[in-house]
């Protein structure tokens, strides 16, 4: 009887076991979604903008602290200057021929203007130069981070993949805008030397809008291809090949024996076909949607590729 009483007393006096399993489960559950919490916090508009701007400033400082941005901008302006001189020479030749024909066709001189002969071809020349310049600008954006294993370190920082992608894209878009603004010197110069009117500024501004939309879509494609490669050379070459295909597909559809739906698809895919309406001074919803769709698709695919490295 005494033994049973002492056993019951010991059982009552013994402390209850600590809920170790519950505490461990709660700690693991709290630690697991850390990256998702960071991503959700950075997706909020103020946090996303601050993080994106910080990354954009870092990328711009890298661009201008090294000769890369300066060399690319100088090359762009130099080649643009060459095409400008060529187009001016062509205009002078056309004007001489028009004066000779004017005695038989008085309207020949009226059909000759700076916009059609000099400025419009210059916009297409600028877009073609961007095809060759922008791969050098975008090839290091993610590929260099991946090669140096600093992308994983950046992912652990209090920024999400969306802020990383948008910040890098924003820095490159600023350089594209800088290059586009530098080319406004050419129509301004034409207005200074022209007699009886220069460039039609409404058409010129529309063409510049199309050139900028074309440039940022190229940047988005280059950013995505850079996120897939660890080598800058591979990223640059793949971007150049892709942009050349988008540039030449419309010409191939026109010059080749392509008919039907395949021809319609090739013409819709072509960059030059969508840029042409902007150069004519016409803003079409389909052309704006084309460039914005390319840009958004490239950014989305880049974010998806970066998210895969997290796991």
Q: Which domain holds residue 129?
A: 34-310
Within-domain flag for 229: yes
Within-domain flag for 145: yes
Within-domain flag for 5: no
User: Count of CB atoms within 10 A of residue 74's CB?
Assistant: 11
Alpha-carbon torsion 40, 168, 141, 289, what sign? positive
Helix ranges (DSSP H) in 157-200: 161-182, 185-193
DSSP 3-state assignment of 225? helix
Window from 16-20, 112-116, 129-133, 228-232 with minimum mean pLDDT = 16-20
Within-domain flag for 81: yes
Within-domain flag for 185: yes
Q: Distance between CA 52 and CA 164 in Å, rounded?
A: 6
Query: What is the per-residue pLDDT across 253-294, written as a single tens digit (0 to 9) for each?
Result: 666 666 777 777 888 888 999 999 999 889 999 999 999 999
Within-domain flag for 122: yes
Within-domain flag for 23: no
Supply the pLDDT for residue 196.
57
Per-chain mean pLDDT for the chain: 78
Helix axes 161-182, 201-228, angle to 10 degrees: 140
Query: What is the per-residue pLDDT across 183-239, written as a single tens digit (0 to 9) for each?
Result: 998 888 877 776 656 678 888 899 999 999 999 999 999 999 998 988 889 999 999
| pTM (two decimals) | 0.79
Distances (CA, A) of 273 to 205, 250, 287, 290, 301: 18, 7, 9, 11, 25
Counted domains in the chain = 1
Number of H helices, E strands in the chain: 16, 0
């Amino acid at each position: 009887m005494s033994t049973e009483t002492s056993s019951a007393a010991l059982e009552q006096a013994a402390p209850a076991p600590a809920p170790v399993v519950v505490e461990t489960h709660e700690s693991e559950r709290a630690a697991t979604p850390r990256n998702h919490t960071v991503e959700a916090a950075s997706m909020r508009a103020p946090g996303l903008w601050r993080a994106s701007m910080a990354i954009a400033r870092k990328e711009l400082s890298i661009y201008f602290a090294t000769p890369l941005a300066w060399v690319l901008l100088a090359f762009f302006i130099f080649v643009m200057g060459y095409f400008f001189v060529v187009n001016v020479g062509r205009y002078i030749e056309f004007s001489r021929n028009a004066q000779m024909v004017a005695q038989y066709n008085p309207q020949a001189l009226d059909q000759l203007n700076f916009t059609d002969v000099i400025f419009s071809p210059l916009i297409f020349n600028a877009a073609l130069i961007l095809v060759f310049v922008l791969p050098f600008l975008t090839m290091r954006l993610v590929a260099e981070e991946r090669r140096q294993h600093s992308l994983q370190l950046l992912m652990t920082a209090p920024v999400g993949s969306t802020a990383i992608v948008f910040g890098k894209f924003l820095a490159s878009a600023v350089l594209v805008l800088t290059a586009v603004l530098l080319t406004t010197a050419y129509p301004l110069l034409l207005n200074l030397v022209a007699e009886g009117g220069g460039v039609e500024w409404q058409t010129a501004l529309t063409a510049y809008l199309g050139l900028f939309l074309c440039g940022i879509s190229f940047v988005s494609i280059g950013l995505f291809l850079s996120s897939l490669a660890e080598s800058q050379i591979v990223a640059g070459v793949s971007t150049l090949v892709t942009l050349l295909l988008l540039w030449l597909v419309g010409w191939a559809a026109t010059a080749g024996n392509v008919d039907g739906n395949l021809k319609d698809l090739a013409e819709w895919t072509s960059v030059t076909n969508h840029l042409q309406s902007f150069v004519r001074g016409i803003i079409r919803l389909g052309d704006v949607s084309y460039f914005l769709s390319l840009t958004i698709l490239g950014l989305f695919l880049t974010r998806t590729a970066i998210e895969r490295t997290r796991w």
